[in-house]
Amino acid sequence: MIWFDGRLSAGGTIPLDATDRGLLLGDGVFETIGVFNRSPFALGAHLDSLAAAAGVLGFAVPMATVERAVADLVAAMPGPHGAIRVTVSRGAGPRGLLPPASSLPIVLASLAPWTPAMAFQPVALATVSIRRNETSPLSRLKTLAYLDNVLALAEAKGAGADDALMLNTRGRVAGSAMANLFALIGGELVTPPVGDGVRPGIMRAFLIETAGAGERSLTSADLAGAPLFLTNSLRLLLPVAMLDGQAVPPVPPHYTDMLRRACGLAED
């Protein structure tokens, strides 16, 4: 289901402006929001993240429009759960790289099915050759320029893995192509800091706050023999079962239980 220009439609097409900078230059931002039992999880944090990312790019998100889009999609959901993506382009602009002095951002939102079976599934990671550029502000934002992650994931899939472990230009762990990474090292739950080219995901922030996770630069050697898991807003927590063909120790179940309860998905 698509929300565009104040209307819902079942089709997958919308009117296209050939000068839209999101289309031509990747000049836009997005957020993906899990809706569990008809409640968008951490919606305020997602909206803040969207606004902050657009602010770095130099344009303002029409927040009332985004809020209406999310509310309309939730109201139209056929079941209790769903996945909403909100995309905001800077909008139309003249030819060239520099953005216009003023812009009219475009909001596109979509609803996709989601089931609890999509979450908490073990995954295999493969370290890929593509590096996250920690010196670029884009490494910390969800922008429409996402090809490094697309190529990293394709490389990992080609190696028989489910996701890509990405290092930064200094050889430090940045996370996966699709998620933040956590490691249990010496009894301490840790995750790479934002300065290492990490996108500050919503589930990452939740675990830092509620599970007392610390931020620490990590190398591939630090991950050897440590329980590992990934987090993102739709797949929630994914235990890493294999890293570069080597078995990874299991993750203690209480982290999974914590996220299940927070999302209202606790098993009976």
- Whether 181 and 165 have beta carbons less than 8 Å apart is answered as yes
Give 165's strand partners.
127, 176
The pLDDT of 28-54, averaged and rounded, is 98
Res 119 pLDDT > 60:
yes
CATH of domain 2-114: 3.30.470.10
- The residue written with tokens 């987090």 in the block is 231
What region does 264 belong to: left with phi over 0, alpha with psi -120 to 50, or beta? Answer: left
Domain map (residue ranges) of the chain? 2-114, 123-263
Fold match, 2-114 / 123-263: no
Res 46 pLDDT > 90:
yes
Report pLDDT for 139.
Answer: 96
Res 265 pLDDT > 70:
yes
Residue 266: pLDDT band (50, 70, 90) is confident
Q: Are strands 82-89 and 106-112 parallel, antiparallel or unpaired?
A: antiparallel
The pLDDT of 113-121, averaged and rounded, is 95
Report pLDDT for 267.
Answer: 66
The pLDDT of 42-48, averaged and rounded, is 98
C-alpha–C-alpha distance, residues 181 and 179, integer Å: 7
The pLDDT of 39-46, averaged and rounded, is 98
What's the full length of the chain, in residues? 268
Report pLDDT for 268.
Answer: 42
Report pLDDT for 11.
Answer: 78
- On average, the pLDDT of the chain sits at 96
134's CB contacts (< 8 A; 6+ apart) are: 168, 169, 170, 172, 174, 195, 196, 197
Res 60 pLDDT > 50:
yes
151's CB contacts (< 8 A; 6+ apart) are: 130
Report pLDDT for 12.
Answer: 77
Q: Which helix H or strand E contains 155, and what residues bound it?
A: helix 147-158
- pLDDT over 90 for what percent of the chain? 96
- Whether 135 and 157 have beta carbons less than 8 Å apart is answered as no
Digit-coded pLDDT (tens) for 122-170? 999 999 999 999 999 999 999 999 999 999 999 999 999 999 999 999 9
pTM for the model stands at: 0.95
Residue 183 has phi, psi (to 5 degrees) of -135, 145
Digit-coded pLDDT (tens) for 171-203? 999 999 999 999 999 999 999 999 999 999 999
Is domain 123-263 classified as CATH 2.30.40.10? no
